[in-house]
């Protein structure tokens, strides 16, 4: 079954609206793990609007000794050090997550909203990918379901891609859904032929997840915003179980 990685950015966003450490992100990560989550994802940005470098360090300490729980740190590989932020790659090197997902975020983006254009970034990404893989970190690229781009990405020696599912979620319930879903299926099939694993994420929720999870070669989904919203109404433990159930139906 497809693994479920919970993105906890929004827990830190709530915490940062007040002084102190409430809610505590490590305690909420533990709740997710105790109730069946397969991994924890965080996306530290230079402005530290939610996840902070200390959070990444503490979560790494929590997860490292726990068998079969993945720690995934995602972000802009070109984000440099600024105002207490050590730089994205430097933070990843320090904390050694199981997986690093490289995302083409600019500093002023509200959220991730597009995948890498490999034609533009291949030469810049290649040494970063090599640097991370030499540390034993699995490398994933945040990408759109564009087969030409995926073929180019495969030449960089990546382990996985994370399919950007925003357009799929936006098209849910409309006549635009089927061609978008088909493109994701084709992209996943191509990845399988190239021996690249497939992750997915962005705006997946309890309504649209099972359909997407029917895609072959889908190894992992990363879900944050909708999961935290559902946790408010049903409780975090129940939300983990509901998302695991949705994945099983896929």
CATH code of the domain containing 168: 3.20.20.70
Q: Number of C-alpha atoms within 13 angstroms, CB side, residue 45? A: 18
- d(C-alpha 78, C-alpha 232), whole Å: 34
Range(s) of the domain holding residue 68? 3-249
- Cβ contact 209:246 at 8 Å: yes
The tens-digit pLDDT sequence of the chain (250 residues) is 999 999 999 999 999 999 999 999 999 999 999 999 999 999 999 999 999 999 999 999 999 999 999 999 999 999 999 989 999 999 999 999 999 999 998 666 556 568 999 999 999 999 999 999 999 999 999 999 999 999 999 999 999 999 999 999 999 999 999 999 999 999 999 999 999 999 999 999 999 999 999 999 999 999 999 999 999 999 999 999 999 999 999 8
- Cβ contact 28:8 at 8 Å: yes
* Torsion angle of the four alpha carbons 216, 144, 139, 157, in this order, in degrees rounded to the nearest 10: 90
pLDDT at 109: 56
* Torsion angle of the four alpha carbons 57, 2, 4, 48, in this order, in degrees rounded to the nearest 10: 50
Crossing angle, helix 118-133 and helix 147-154, to 10 degrees?
40
Extract the tokens encoding 21. Answer: 């450490």
Domain count, the chain: 1
Three-class secondary structure of residue 197 per DSSP: strand
Extract the tokens encoding 10. Answer: 């929004």
Question: How long is the chain?
Answer: 250
pLDDT at 105: 81
So which residues are the catalytic ones?
43, 74, 202
pLDDT at 41: 98
- Cβ contact 44:52 at 8 Å: yes
- d(C-alpha 38, C-alpha 25), whole Å: 17
Closest CA to 59 of 8, 103, 93, 10: 8
* Whole-prediction pTM: 0.96
- d(C-alpha 116, C-alpha 105), whole Å: 9
């Amino acid at each position: 079954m497809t693994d479920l990685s919970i993105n906890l950015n929004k827990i830190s966003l709530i915490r940062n609206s007040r002084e102190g450490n409430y809610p505590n992100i490590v305690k909420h990560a533990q709740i997710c793990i105790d109730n069946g989550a397969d991994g924890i994802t965080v996306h530290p940005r230079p402005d530290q609007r939610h996840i902070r470098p200390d959070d990444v360090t503490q979560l790494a300490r929590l997860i490292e000794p726990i068998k079969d729980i993945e720690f995934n740190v995602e972000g802009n590989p070109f984000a440099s050090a600024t105002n207490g932020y050590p730089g994205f790659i430097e933070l990843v090197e320090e904390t050694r997550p199981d997986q690093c997902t490289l995302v083409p975020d600019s500093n002023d983006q509200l959220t991730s909203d597009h995948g890498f254009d490999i034609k533009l970034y291949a030469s810049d990404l290649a040494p970063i990918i090599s640097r991370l893989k030499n540390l034993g970190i699995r490398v994933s690229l945040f990408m759109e379901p564009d087969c030409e781009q995926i073929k180019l990405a495969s030449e960089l020696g990546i382990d996985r891609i994370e399919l950007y599912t925003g357009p799929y979620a936006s098209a849910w319930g409309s006549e635009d859904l089927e061609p978008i879903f088909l493109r994701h299926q084709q992209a996943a099939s191509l990845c399988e032929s190239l021996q690249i694993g497939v992750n997915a994420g962005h705006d997946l929720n309890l309504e649209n997840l099972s359909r997407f999870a029917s895609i072959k070669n889908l190894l992992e989904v990363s879900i944050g915003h909708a999961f935290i919203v559902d946790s408010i109404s049903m409780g975090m433990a129940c939300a983990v179980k509901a998302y695991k159930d949705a994945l099983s139906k896929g």
